[in-house]
Amino acid sequence: MTVVHFDSPMSDDDRRRRLFAGDLFVYSPTPHSTALVAFARELSERAFAPHFPPDAQHHLAGPDYVRILADLKPTFINHPRSAELVRGVLTDLGADPEQTYFDVPRLRTMTSEYLNAGLTLQFGSHRDTWFSAPMAQLNFWIPVYDVTESNVMAFHPNYFAVGVRNSSRTYDYARWVAYGRPAAARQVHTETREQPRVEQELELEPDLRVITPPGGVLIFSGAHLHTTVPNTSGRTRFSIDFRAVNRGDVESGAGARNVDSECTGTTLGDFRRVSDQSPLPAELVRAYDTVPG
């Protein structure tokens, strides 16, 4: 059974064990998550001026909207301030800076009944582990503006320990980095890139939706089956997400149980240590870097 923990004082070691078992953790805004949201708003409001970012979709043609995102998103992802603040968020939440590794924070935009491809893609039901994420991966999700139950994520706890048929066997991370990711800005009205999908009927209700204020932090296992809720709120949802792993977990093979992931490659080469931003040892990444058959 999935348990939701609010502002838990649990240690990071105990928290990771509970996350690997399917629990969710929710935290009130921290000093660094508040600053991260402020930075994302600053960049977004500058990019969409004179329009308020959640409402900008009502004022711009699709190609114009995507052109703004094509500049805004990489600016946020690659800005040194973004990485600095993510390191602070992890420290705020009690992660060991010497053992914790993170990937770049991404600014997500889910428009409301407007666009659904490339830079605005709304993901169907999936696990991040279908996309070459390690089973030890933890996901951190932070809303930038107010969210509602009609524009967040829905978790499907009944499937955490139950496999579902999916097409992850066709996904290789190195191939995605080389060909899929660079094509994002060219996907405006229709998504043509091949990505892992569910291949069976699912019972998606009941589901679990977590509402946090801007700057609030939701943590969940990358193995959780979840769905981007069709956004009917009338406003674009802006959010930030990033991933983290503990080196000890990666070395020992700890993590959630793999019930249905068959992808190849690994995202571990993207992770950097909180303390000094050094990468994981190459031999450890290679141990996870399976080769397509």
Give tens-digit pLDDT for 65-116.
Answer: 999 999 999 999 999 999 999 999 999 999 999 999 999 999 999 998 776 5
Do residues 135 and 222 touch, judged by C-beta distance below 8 A?
Answer: yes
Do residues 33 and 89 touch, judged by C-beta distance below 8 A?
Answer: yes
In this prediction, residues 172-186 reach a mean pLDDT of: 70
Cis ω before 292 (30° cut-off from 0): no
Give a yes or no: residue 105 inside a domain: yes
In this prediction, residues 17-24 reach a mean pLDDT of: 98
Residue 285: what pLDDT? 96
Tokens of 130: 């279908």
Give a yes or no: residue 36 inside a domain: yes
Rounded CA separation 252/240 (Å): 29
Give a yes or no: residue 112 inside a domain: yes
Give tens-digit pLDDT for 244-273.
Answer: 999 999 999 999 999 999 999 999 999 999
Give a yes or no: residue 98 inside a domain: yes
pTM of the predicted model, to two decimals?
Answer: 0.92
Give a yes or no: residue 132 inside a domain: yes
Percentage of the chain surpassing pLDDT 70? 91
pLDDT of 160 over the 60 cut: yes
Residue entry with tokens 């956004």: 231
Residue 121: what pLDDT? 53
Give a yes or no: residue 43 inside a domain: yes
Give tens-digit pLDDT for 128-141.
Answer: 999 999 999 999 99
What average pLDDT does the structure give for the chain? 92
Count of domains for the chain: 1
Q: How confident is the model at residue 184 (pLDDT cuts 50, 70, 90)?
A: very low
In this prediction, residues 228-240 reach a mean pLDDT of: 93
Report the CATH number at residue 166. Answer: 2.60.120
Give a yes or no: residue 159 inside a domain: yes
Q: What's phi and psi for 57, nearest 5 deg?
A: -60, -25
Buried b (16+ CB within 10 A) or exposed e, 52-90: ebbebbeeeeeeebbebbeebbeebeeeeebbebbbbbb
Residue 116: what pLDDT? 52
Give tens-digit pLDDT for 186-201.
Answer: 534 544 567 899 999 9
Domain that holds residue 240: 4-288
Give a yes or no: residue 293 inside a domain: no
